[in-house]
Every structure is written in C-alpha cells, then in structure tokens.
C-alpha cells in the first residue's frame, strides 16, 4: 500500500508540474503546499469555510469508477482588510469516495505578466462532503499580477483531467 501511495504522490507532483508548463509557466514551478502556507511567499492562510465572490471561472469534475464529483472555483474577497484571491474545491456528498479517490486544487500566481509563476499547492481531499481552500494572495491593480486556479479528480482507474480557470 505504501508503494501505491508513493507512486500516486510522485504522479500527482509530476502532473501538477506538467500542468504548470501547460498553463504557461516558464519559471521554476514549486510543487509543495508548504511554499504558500504559514505566510510563505506573501500568501495568507484562510479557513476552508471562507467564501468570496466568484471570479474567472469555476467547473465540475466527475469520474465514473467509482462515481465521484468535485467542483472548483476561483474566488476573491476581503481577508484581513485586504483584497485577495484564492482557489476552492468542494467534493459532492454523493458517490462512492473509496479510499483511493483524490481531488486536488492549486493556484498559480504571477507578478511579472506570466514570465514566472508561484505554485500554491496542491491541496488534496479524499472524502465526499469536504471543502478546502488554497491560501489567499493579495490582488493588485497592476496588469502584471494574475491568478489561475486548477483542479483534478482521480481514482486508480480514471482521471478527470486537470481543469484550469482563465488567468484573472
């Protein structure tokens, strides 16, 4: 079982890094949640229950074997008196979320018009009826700062491919 977890973890990290390249990242991608938690790299931890205004897109992910559903969105709102953006992932209460079903959300931030990006996440959930957020990052009136939220849902037999919002 441990080797299956290791393979899945390595596969998820490779998938996220690959998604970063597809998203237009030319800088070095960071693939650890610790790179944006606890105040790292200008991010602010927020409660998973925090809701904001939907911006730049949202979507649903579905796998059939076993049946599982997750939805994701990019949101913005006031955190600690500052306007910030973050990603959110919610797993549907229905379906068969066996022990090997996983859903992940992550966020890219660029401060230099997508020349480089900061990868925040992935953050993973493994059960139905769960909601998780990425840490929040300050918004800016500068056109060089942009955000993108991505999510994936998978089981050993199926992957609902990574889906990303447009840059906002």
pLDDT for 2 equals 36
- When the pLDDT of each residue in the chain is averaged and rounded to a whole number, the result is 82
CA 38 to chain centroid: 17
Nearest of 118, 115, 96, 151 to residue 31 by alpha carbon: 118
Let me know how many helices (H) and strands (E) the chain has, helices first.
1, 9
Please tell me which residue, 78 or 62, carries the higher pLDDT value.
Answer: 78
pLDDT score, position 94:
63
Convert the pLDDT of each residue in 66-117 to its tens digit: 788 899 999 999 999 999 999 999 998 766 677 788 999 999 999 999 999 9
Domain membership of residue 85 as a residue range: 2-164
The segment with the largest mean pLDDT, out of 10-19, 71-80, 99-108, 119-128, is: 71-80
Give CA–CA dist 96/139, Å, rounded. Answer: 38
Count the domains in the chain. Answer: 1
pLDDT at 15 over 90: no
User: In whole angstroms, what is the distance from residue 58 CA to residue 10 CA?
Assistant: 27
Percentage above 70 pLDDT, the chain: 79
pLDDT band at 48 (very low <50, low <70, confident <90, very high): very high
Question: Mean pLDDT over residues 38-58, rounded?
Answer: 94
Q: What is the mean pLDDT of residues 142-163?
A: 91
Residue 42 has pLDDT above 90, yes or no: yes
């Amino acid at each position: 079982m441990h080797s299956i977890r290791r393979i899945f973890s390595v596969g998820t990290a490779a998938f996220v890094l690959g998604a970063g390249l597809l998203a237009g990242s030319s800088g070095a991608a960071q693939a650890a949640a610790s790179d944006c938690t606890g105040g790292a790299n200008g991010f602010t931890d927020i409660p998973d229950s925090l809701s904001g205004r939907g911006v730049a897109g949202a979507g649903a992910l579905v796998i059939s074997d076993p049946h599982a559903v997750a939805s994701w969105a990019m949101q913005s709102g006031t955190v600690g008196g500052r306007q910030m953006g973050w990603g959110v992932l919610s797993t549907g209460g229905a379906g068969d979320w066996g022990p090997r079903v996983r859903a992940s959300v992550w966020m890219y931030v660029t401060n230099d018009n997508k020349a480089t990006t900061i990868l925040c996440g992935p953050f993973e959930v493994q059960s139905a009826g769960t909601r998780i957020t990425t840490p929040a990052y300050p918004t800016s009136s500068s056109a060089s700062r942009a955000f993108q939220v991505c999510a994936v849902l998978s089981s050993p037999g199926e992957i609902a491919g990574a889906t990303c919002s447009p840059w906002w």
